[in-house]
């Protein structure tokens, strides 16, 4: 191969979430594209998004998209259901030529898996109240009995980084108890933070309830869009993954160490322009 010849390995993918949750998506992308350069922003200094206004989430998402495209991202993954619901349209209209992947609760796979037709959806208040979610439910779950569980406080508790902490387990227990009473046989993990507590959710719901995690579906969509990209010249010096946080660097470091099995460099990110409220 010619020295410095462009290869698919040099593709740069920007990924962001309100915080640590999007690392569940980053991990799946890395499994499918092991040679891509991954750029990740955890907006932990402004998490949780789930209880913020749409305007606030739009402003954060646009600022982070600008940062990641400025870092050379050729493709942007909004690894957050809440930000996708509130801001994907705004991000797409700001970058009409950009390749942008969003994340939505997996109602379609849930419809294929459920046997009793009762499907629980665990997600943030923001996701569940969104027009985007209403349309998704109309398209894929009109025939299902959807039981929506706004998991207040759960993403914020996971942001502590300690997924086995009592505060996290209490939140999981409360939200799962509500769904268990409703005899759902399938539970959609409609927030990218929740795969990190899937073991607790499964334990609360029981072994017969199936959990739907869309991380790998998002990674497959990312692979499809990455295939359309002109590759950039590879740089041997570039790290495989660069992670920034607007929150606590140590928390991100510990979390990445526990959950990611590939090398990352981490850096703080000064809060990007933020609206009030």
Enumerate binding residues for ligand DGL (CB under 6 A): 17-19, 21, 47-50, 80-82, 124, 127, 155, 191-193
Report in angstroms how near the CB of residue 81 gets to ligand DGL at its nearest: 4
Identity of the residue, 11 or 155, whose beta carbon is nearer to ligand DGL in the bound complex:
155
Number of helical H runs and strand E runs in the chain: 11, 10
Instruction: Considering the candidates 58, 80, 176, 264, report the single residue annotated as catalytic.
Output: 80
176 is catalytic: no
Task: Work out the widest C-alpha separation in the chain, in whole angstroms.
Answer: 62
Report in angstroms how near the CB of residue 5 gets to ligand DGL at its nearest: 38
SS3 175: helix
Identity of the residue, 50 or 161, whose beta carbon is nearer to ligand DGL in the bound complex:
50
Identity of the residue, 13 or 79, whose beta carbon is nearer to ligand DGL in the bound complex:
79
What does the buried/exposed string (b/e) look like for 151-178 if buried means 16 or more CB atoms within 10 Å of the residue's CB? Answer: bebbbbbbbebebeeeebbebbeebbeb
Identity of the residue, 53 or 235, whose beta carbon is nearer to ligand DGL in the bound complex:
53
Report in angstroms how near the CB of residue 149 gets to ligand DGL at its nearest: 13
Phi, psi of 3 (to 5 degrees): -60, 135
Whether a cis peptide bond, with omega within 30° of 0, leads into 48 is yes
Instruction: Considering the candidates 58, 151, 191, 264, report the single residue annotated as catalytic.
Output: 191
151 is catalytic: no
The whole-angstrom separation of Cα 107 and Cα 137 is 7
Report in angstroms how near the CB of residue 119 gets to ligand DGL at its nearest: 18
Point out the residues that are catalytic: 80, 191
């Amino acid at each position: 191969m010619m020295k410095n010849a462009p290869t698919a390995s040099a593709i740069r993918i920007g990924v962001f979430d309100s915080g640590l949750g999007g690392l569940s998506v980053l991990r799946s992308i890395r499994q499918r594209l092991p040679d891509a350069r991954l750029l990740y922003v955890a907006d932990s200094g402004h998490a949780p998004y789930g209880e913020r206004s749409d305007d606030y989430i739009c402003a954060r998402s646009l600022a982070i998209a600008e940062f990641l495209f400025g870092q050379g991202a050729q493709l942007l993954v909004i690894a957050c259901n809440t930000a996708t619901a509130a801001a994907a349209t705004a991000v797409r209209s700001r970058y009409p030529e950009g390749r942008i992947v969003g994340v939505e609760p997996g109602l379609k796979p849930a419809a294929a898996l459920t046997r009793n037709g009762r499907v629980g959806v665990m997600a943030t208040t923001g996701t569940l109240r969104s027009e985007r979610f209403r349309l998704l439910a109309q398209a894929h779950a009109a025939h299902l009995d959807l039981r929506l569980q706004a998991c207040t406080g759960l993403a914020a508790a996971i942001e502590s980084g300690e997924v086995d902490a009592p505060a996290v387990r209490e939140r999981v227990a409360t939200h799962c108890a509500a769904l268990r009473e409703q005899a759902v046989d399938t539970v959609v993990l409609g927030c990218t933070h929740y795969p990190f507590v899937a073991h607790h959710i499964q334990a609360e719901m029981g072994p017969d309830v199936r959990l739907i995690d869309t991380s790998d579906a998002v990674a497959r969509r990312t692979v499809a869009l990455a295939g359309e990209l002109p590759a950039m010249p590879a740089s041997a010096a570039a790290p495989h993954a660069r992670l920034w946080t607007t929150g606590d660097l140590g928390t991100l470091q510990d979390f990445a160490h526990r959950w990611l099995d590939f090398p990352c460099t981490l850096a703080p990110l000064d809060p990007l322009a933020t609206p009030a409220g």
